[in-house]
Amino acid sequence: MTILALEGIGLTRRFGGFIALDSVSIALRPGEIRGLIGPNGAGKSTLMDVLSGRAGKSASGRVSLFGQDITGFPAWQRRRAGLARSFQKTNVFPDLTVAAQIGLAARAAETNNAAEVIDALELSALAGQRAADISYGDQRRVDVALALVGRPRVLLLDEPAAGLSMAESLNLALLLRDLAARWQVTVLIVEHDMEVIFSICSHLTVLHLGRILANGPPEEVRAMPEVITAYLGSSAA
């Protein structure tokens, strides 16, 4: 039996009376790139938060990483165990240079591949600049670099292409696909750009109103009437 790269069982998160995530279970096989899609408010970012430890004790359910139960781990410990993430809103260190912050992230990881990541994400020319002084698109790449450095075993990407042009989005997506394959990283990616999702994902999970609506290969999921209804509206079904 193959050990799952990442498994979440019965994940639930409430905000007062509102259930943002309702007993969601998800399982990723090693090496797969899974797309997590759904309309706004479906619970995608909440699921990322619960998996990565950002939700803290306000969430319930069980999370395991390559068979290791990490449910009680805080965020820093999950990262050291090999579970990394990027954020929906750019989340970098504005006053540090690009090289300094990627180097800092590399020192916390077992594999110090800062130079490799800087090179792979085409950040070499910006290495000496403060993150606050570079463009939004470049900051997005720094955000991804912070998650990717140290070769995590599982990478959670929350809308990495948000705010980028169509060409930039596709380039970033293809780059991530290549790096994930080269470094054997399992990826769970939230993205609204369907071109990005269909170009790199081998499997899709659709969330709707805090529950899983569908699971499967992109072609099958795309054809499911309930997905079309939830995602595109009843007129599209």
Partner 1 sequence: MIRIAVFLAAGAAGALLPNLFGSPLLLTLLTQAAINAILATGVGFLVRQNGLVSFGHAGFFGLGAYIVALSATNGWMPIGVALLLAVVAPTVLALLLGAAMLRLGGVAFSMLTLAVAQAFYELALRWRSLANGDDGIAAQLPDRILGLDLSVFQQPGSMFVVCWIVLMLVLFGLSVLIASPFGTLTLAIRENEERARFIGYRTLLPRAAIYALSAAIAALAGVLFALYNGFVTPNVLYWGLSGEALVMAVVGGTRAVWGPALGALLFFLLKNVAGDLTEHWPAIIGGTLIIVTVLLPRGASGSIALLMQRMGVRTA
Exactly one of 10, 56, 74, 225 binds partner 1 (CB under 8 A); which one?
A: 74
Exactly one of 79, 140, 141, 151 binds partner 1 (CB under 8 A); which one?
A: 79
Exactly one of 100, 162, 175, 209 binds partner 1 (CB under 8 A); which one?
A: 100
- DSSP-assigned states of every residue in 173-199: HHHHHHHHHHHT-EEEEE-S-HHHHHH
Which CB atom, from 130 or from 211, has the smaller least distance to partner 1? 130
Tokens of 63: 């999370």
Which CB atom, from 79 or from 208, has the smaller least distance to partner 1? 79
101 interacts with partner 1 by CB under 8 A: yes
Which CB atom, from 106 or from 126, has the smaller least distance to partner 1? 106
- Residue at token pair 């259930």: 19
76 interacts with partner 1 by CB under 8 A: yes
Which CB atom, from 105 or from 121, has the smaller least distance to partner 1? 105
Instruction: Give the residue among 59, 44, 56 at the shortest CA–CA distance from 9.
Output: 59
Q: Which helix (H) or strand (E) holds 200?
A: helix 194-200
Cα(74)–Cα(171) distance, rounded to whole angstroms?
33
Q: How many residues of this chain interact with partner 1, rule: CB under 8 A?
A: 28
Cα(6)–Cα(187) distance, rounded to whole angstroms?
10
45 interacts with partner 1 by CB under 8 A: no
109 interacts with partner 1 by CB under 8 A: yes
Cα(179)–Cα(187) distance, rounded to whole angstroms?
11
**Minimum CB–partner distance for residue 103 and partner 1 (Å):** 8
Cα(19)–Cα(22) distance, rounded to whole angstroms?
6
In a 3-state reduction of DSSP, which class is residue 10?
A: strand
139 interacts with partner 1 by CB under 8 A: no
Stretch that binds partner 1, among 93-101, 133-141, 191-199, 215-223 (CB under 8 A): 93-101
Stretch that binds partner 1, among 34-42, 104-112, 116-124, 187-195 (CB under 8 A): 104-112
| DSSP character at residue 204 | E
Binding mask 145-174 for partner 1 (x = CB under 8 A): -xx-xx------------------------
Exactly one of 92, 114, 207, 230 binds partner 1 (CB under 8 A); which one?
A: 92
- DSSP-assigned states of every residue in 125-162: GGTTSBGGGS-HHHHHHHHHHHHHTT--SEEEEESTTT
Tabulate helix, strand, coil % of the chain (nearest 5): 40, 25, 30
Binding site for partner 1 (CB under 8 A): 52, 54, 74-76, 79-80, 84-85, 87, 91-96, 100-101, 103-105, 107-109, 146-147, 149-150
